[in-house]
């Protein structure tokens, strides 16, 4: 019985994103069997899927980043969509209309405006790596950035370090009790359930790649929260050379996938 009561909180939530859409020909007829490849431009990791009979493709479990989407099918020119930004816990729809020709020919779309978010209804603010690093935060504590989100205010009663060793920014979200919020790092729950609802660990500012703060209309998997859901994605390796050594030696490196 004890295990059943507490099983609901022993989980990690997904921080990955989803790319989906329909592939059609010039007459808007579905193109089944087309190969869709999503390549993350910093790591050159490629994920392939094939469209179904309705021309639909769905690529799940993609890490946040900037992607290039390539679509190939016999009798059509290859279509390439560049600079598609995929944020943490997001779903982006990219429809592709192929042009008649050979696969050796290519139609490339770059610099297009970001697609509208039509697949999800959650109310959120996503802070990029540059924003996390450059926005002012007291003591370089990234949880101070929660206050930049509409509906989020600092709790009038901030608990001291003895009971709040991570020194996270205790907040009230849309009038909800502060213990109703949920925190995650790379999909792993970071919330002190059953005690205070505190954030257990506040990641180092330099380690955060992206921070998503959701305050309303959460997805069903966040039903345990009635306040804020803060999702951190930490940095991972890339094909780019960076850091002080690269700057001192003036190394220019462009990742090519």
Residue 4's Cβ-count burial label (10 Å; 0-12, 13-18, 19+) is exposed
Give me 12's structure tokens. Answer: 């990690």
Query: Does CATH place domain 123-234 in 3.90.79.10?
Result: no
Closest CA to 36 of 46, 25, 45, 28: 46
Between β-strands 182-185 and 188-189, what pairing exists: parallel, antiparallel or unpaired? antiparallel
Where, residue-wise, is CATH 2.60.40.1120 in the chain?
17-109
- What confidence score (pLDDT) does residue 68 get? 94
pLDDT of residue 240: 58
Query: CB burial class (10 A; 0-12, 13-18, 19+) of residue 199?
Result: buried
Within 13 A of 183's CA, how many CA atoms are on the CB side?
A: 22
At 112 the pLDDT is 57
Among 36, 48, 116, residue whose Cα is nearest residue 80? 36
Task: Write the CB contacts of 27 (distance below 8 Å, at least 6 apart in sequence).
Answer: none
Looking at the domain 17-109, which fold is it? Immunoglobulin-like (2.60.40)
pTM over 0.75: no
φ/ψ of residue 11, rounded to 5: -150, 165
pLDDT at 119: 63
**Contact of 147 with 171, CB cutoff 8 Å:** yes
Amino acid 55: pLDDT = 96
30-81 pLDDT, tens digit per residue, is 999 999 999 998 889 999 999 999 999 999 989 888 899 999 999 999 999 9
- Which parts of the chain have pLDDT scores under 50? 1-12, 244-247, 249-254
Per DSSP bridges, beta strands 17-24 and 96-97 are: parallel
């Amino acid at each position: 019985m004890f295990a059943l009561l507490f099983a609901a909180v022993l989980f990690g939530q997904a921080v990955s994103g989803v790319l989906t859409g329909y592939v059609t020909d010039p007459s808007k007829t579905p193109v089944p069997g087309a190969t869709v490849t999503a390549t993350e431009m910093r790591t050159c990791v490629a994920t392939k899927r094939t469209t179904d009979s309705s021309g639909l493709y769905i690529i799940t479990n993609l890490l946040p980043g900037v992607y290039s989407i390539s679509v190939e099918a016999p009798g059509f020119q290859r279509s390439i969509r560049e600079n598609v930004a995929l944020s943490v816990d997001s779903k982006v729809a990219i429809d592709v209309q192929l042009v008649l020709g050979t696969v050796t020919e290519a139609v490339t779309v770059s610099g297009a405006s970001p697609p509208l978010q039509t697949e999800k209804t959650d109310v959120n603010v996503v802070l990029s790596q540059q924003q996390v690093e450059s926005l002012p935060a007291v003591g370089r504590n990234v949880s101070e950035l929660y206050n930049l989100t509409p509906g989020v205010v600092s709790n009038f009663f901030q608990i001291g370090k003895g009971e709040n060793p991570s020194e996270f920014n205790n907040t009230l979200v849309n009038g909800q009790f502060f213990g109703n919020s949920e925190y995650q790092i790379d999909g792993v729950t970071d919330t002190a359930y059953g005690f205070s609802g505190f954030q257990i660990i506040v990641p180092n500012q330099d380690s955060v790649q992206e921070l998503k703060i959701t305050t309303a209309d959460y997805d069903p998997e966040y039903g345990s929260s009635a306040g804020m859901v803060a999702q951190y994605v930490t940095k991972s390796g890339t094909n780019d050379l960076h850091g002080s050594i690269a700057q001192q030696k003036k190394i220019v490196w462009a990742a090519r996938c």
